[in-house]
Amino acid sequence: MRAYLPTLGLALAVHGCAQMQKDLEASSNYSAGQTQSAVDEQTGHKTTSVANSKAASQPADKATPKVAAKTKPLGVSEADFQALHQHKDKAAPAAKGQMITLGDSQAYLSLPPGAKASVPGVVLIHEWWGLNSHIKHWADRLAAEGYAAIAVDLYGGKVATESKEAMALMKAVDPAKAQATLAMAFGFLAEDPRIQAKRRASMGWCFGGGWSLQLALAQPVDAAVIYYGRLVTDAAELKKIRGKVIGVFGNRDEGIPPADVDAFEKGLKEAGVRAQVLRFDADHAFANPSSARYDKASAEAAWAEVQDFLRSELAGDK
């Protein structure tokens, strides 16, 4: 399998994820001594208004105003999702799924209530913080939409609460082992008797967004969701993708700037990959309510698009 992120690519990914350090330090709730739960559940600080929220499958300078969400969530609205992260003095709400063993690693599995095979599945890949409660909330959110969601742990059980620790954990990831873990999670969704997914997707944010793309390059993923992750722009490499891709990016993201998104979109087109690229007038990590750069309007609009995408690509046998 192709190794994930050579030295230069890793340095660029570090630059993008390092913005989250600024996010934390800009938050009035930030302090070096906070517990993992408190850091995970910080209140976000809105950076744009509804009127300024933009999305389009076009270059940044051609972005058009985002209209009302096309699809309403079945289980967890953006307001409800945001509320899960606003707990300054107590732990986050209990997760609804369970931790499972995945080879020599662990993962968090959340299933739709009363789920019976066959259930479409999604592999989730965490941000540079690790498999924390924010990612578990995302898995539960997807389960409420009718998907079997398995959130992998690429950090060997460790969860960062400070940016330096997150940086060290991210740099320590072994590419081959990470690919093996992702492959096991992808296989689990098809093989587990409770799930037996016929259609499977990958989904990740920042560090995990890059890995969502890598999973789509290495496995027959039916749909890949990339939230502001490190990109591959070489058309010859992108031809390995078999499913459809949706990319969610912020026009004010300094780690993954619009020029990089342009190159990614160009490479996808040249490779003949079916793709949808969304651009929002927002910063890096705008979809994470724990981030100081959280933008509720853009996050809600992006989630509506991702919902429609997943429903379209994972429905039935296609």
pLDDT digits (tens, 9 = 90+) for 169-204: 999 999 999 999 999 999 999 999 999 999 999 999
d(CA 117, CA 107): 20
Lateral strand order in the sheet of 244-250: 98-102, 105-110, 148-152, 121-125, 200-205, 223-227, 244-250, 275-280
Q: How far apart are alpha carbons 10 and 295 in whole angstroms? A: 27
Predicted pLDDT of residue 78: 77
- The CA-CA-CA angle for residues 168, 246, 117, to 5°, reads 90
pLDDT at 312 over 70: yes
DSSP label of 315: S
Say how far apart CA 29 and CA 43 lie, in whole Å.
7
Q: Would you state the pLDDT for residue 158?
A: 97
Say which residues have a Cβ less than 8 Å from residue 304's Cβ, sequence separation at least 6: 69, 70, 71
- Domains recognised in the chain with CATH numbers: 7-91+125-140+152-173+201-314 (3.40.50.1820)
pLDDT band at 290 (very low <50, low <70, confident <90, very high): confident
Cβ-Cβ contacts under 8 Å for 153 (sequence gap 6 or more): 102, 105, 106, 107, 108, 126, 130, 131, 181
Please give the share of the chain, as a percent, with pLDDT higher than 70.
71
3-state helix, strand, coil in the chain (%, to 5): 40, 15, 45
- Cα 164 from chain centroid? 21
Cα distance from N-terminal residue to C-terminal residue, the chain: 27
For 242-282, the pLDDT digits (tens) are 999 999 999 999 999 999 999 999 999 999 999 999 999 99
Element at 185 (helix H, strand E): helix 175-191
Residue 27 has pLDDT above 90, yes or no: no
Residue 282's identity, in one-letter code, is A
Q: Does residue 5 surpass a pLDDT of 50?
A: no
With CA atoms as reference, report the closest residue to 197 among 91, 102, 108, 116: 116
pLDDT of 22 higher than 60: no
pLDDT tops 50 at residue 11: no
Report helix, strand or coil for 271. helix
CA-to-CA distance for 137 and 124, rounded, in angstroms? Answer: 11
246's enclosing H/E stretch is strand 244-250
Task: Band the pLDDT of 14: cuts 50, 70, 90.
Answer: low
Residue-wise pLDDT tens digits, 130-164: 999 999 999 999 999 999 999 999 999 999 989 99
Distance of alpha carbon 159 from alpha carbon 147, whole angstroms: 25
Q: Taking residues 77-106, report their average pLDDT.
A: 74
Please spell the DSSP secondary structure of 43-92, one letter per residue: PP---S-GGG-EE-SS-GGG-EE--S-SS--SS--HHHHHHTT--SSSPP
CA distance 140 to 299: 17
- Tens of pLDDT along 36-75? 222 232 222 222 222 233 344 444 344 433 333 444 556 7
In angstroms, rounded to a whole number, what is the distance separating the alpha carbons of residues 159 and 131? 6
Mean residue pLDDT across the chain: 80
Q: Which two tokens stand for residue 102?
A: 């995945």
